[in-house]
Structure 1
Amino acid sequence: MAAKPSAPQQQKLLAVLIDADNASAAMVEGLFEEIAKFGVASVKRIYGDWTQPNLGKWKQVLLDHSIQPIQQFAYTRGKNATDSALIIDAMDLLYTRRFDGFCLVSSDSDFTRLAARLREEGLTVYGFGEEKTPAPFVSACDKFIYTEILRADAAQAVDEPPANGDKAKAPAPAEPAKPAAKKKPQKVPVDFIAKLIDDIDDEDGWVELGVLGQNISKLRPAFDARLYGFKKLSDLIKGQAKRFELQVRGSSATGGEALYVRNRKTEK
């Protein structure tokens, strides 16, 4: 008797809250493409004082991406009232119990406690910020994505010719991503990965690649294969063939095929 097809997994509902004072409009395309990997952005809000000229570039992309601007005047010079407004809204959304996770877009460490509080309620927190983001905020998130990666991806997409060969120019983005000096990829933390494999492998030394990725994220939320010049974790592992080996085998979790990895045995 043929097995019944499994029901499609329901996508997670996410609330996206953007701190306009500490995020760049240049990465907005890449931002929502990245968020789509995790779930549906059912709420999209951005906070700032929209009477100020420094947020002009954000104004150009709000309609295109259906982002709701939240006006917050600065009550006192030098104090950021935007942070408080975002935090209050986040707690209000939390208590609706409608969301599976939150996307906090900011490089400001003031949101560290908010991220921790949301996780205490069992929700997944995805952080998005620049590489200058303080470590406590990064660690408080389940997953943290550096927006420099998103800007680089967006710039590459702009440079690529249309797939159908049409020479007509695509419409220019409101603020083109600026891949100033192309950063050299970071050194792959092979020792960290190898030790983690040793910690969670089976009797034969194998670990399912997805399980390895989950454990890496738990220990290093900002780990991203793109930081090291690879598109995804499997490519990174393949690029370190001297240290790791891959194998395709059946997955007990999905019933299909999955990639497994183990540390390559060295000859003594």
Structure 2
Amino acid sequence: MYRFINPLLKHIIHRGSFDTAARMQCLKYLQTLRTLQFNGHNTIFLGETDISESLITGEKLSHEDGQNWPTWTLIHAASSQGWVPWRYRLLLRDELPMKQHEDIFQELCESLNKFYGQCIIVVREKRQPSELQGKEFTAKETITHPQVPSVTYMSSIECCPQIAQANGHEVLSVPLPYNYLHPMDVAWSSLKWFIINNRKEFCLRSIERTYSYRCILFSDLVEKGLEKMTPSKWKIVTNKVRRWENYYLDTFA
């Protein structure tokens, strides 16, 4: 009996320790977020998604073949009022020079400063859950001043807090176990469903004597897909996120 109980007990202790650390990290994130919002910062969600060529063309590929096909990364930002008035980026993966990573984030920060003033730029946490286990949190920890986060790396750009602060903004990362507090996944799902259901309408086909080819108006397809995520839909999604935030603030505090 001892041989069975001991491994189970270790698993329970390990899992409970991680859950406590994750909850306290979420609480610290939410307290910082509310402090900045109380000080007049507008909340902006910055996100990215990958769009494979097979999704655009509708061709079914094996897993091995799909890995060799081009993939684009779409970068955009939104608030509770809708997409921000910024020229979103559609980048071919692995072909963007490193220098342009900071240029994109710099341009976004300047645009946000122009249209919104001071902002909280919320991104998704990229660290693995194992990194949380080495941290110790106590229930007495509170946030009196917003903490300066470390550099946050998305797959396509680098979100540097120094660049953000130079434009009057702050960068916050949603803790990894609570990624659903970042509403961009809803927008990406809406976009990809639009691509699947409407890609034929954005396709031009030419048939010659010896060959035929197809041209897909990719930029127009993405543009129309983004428009389907209307300001009213953004308000619904962000209100749902805020209800979860309030619930965790009451539960974890």
TM-score (norm 2): 0.28
The structure, 1 or 2, with the larger RCO (C-alpha pairs under 8 Å, 6+ apart) is 2
TM-score (norm 1): 0.27
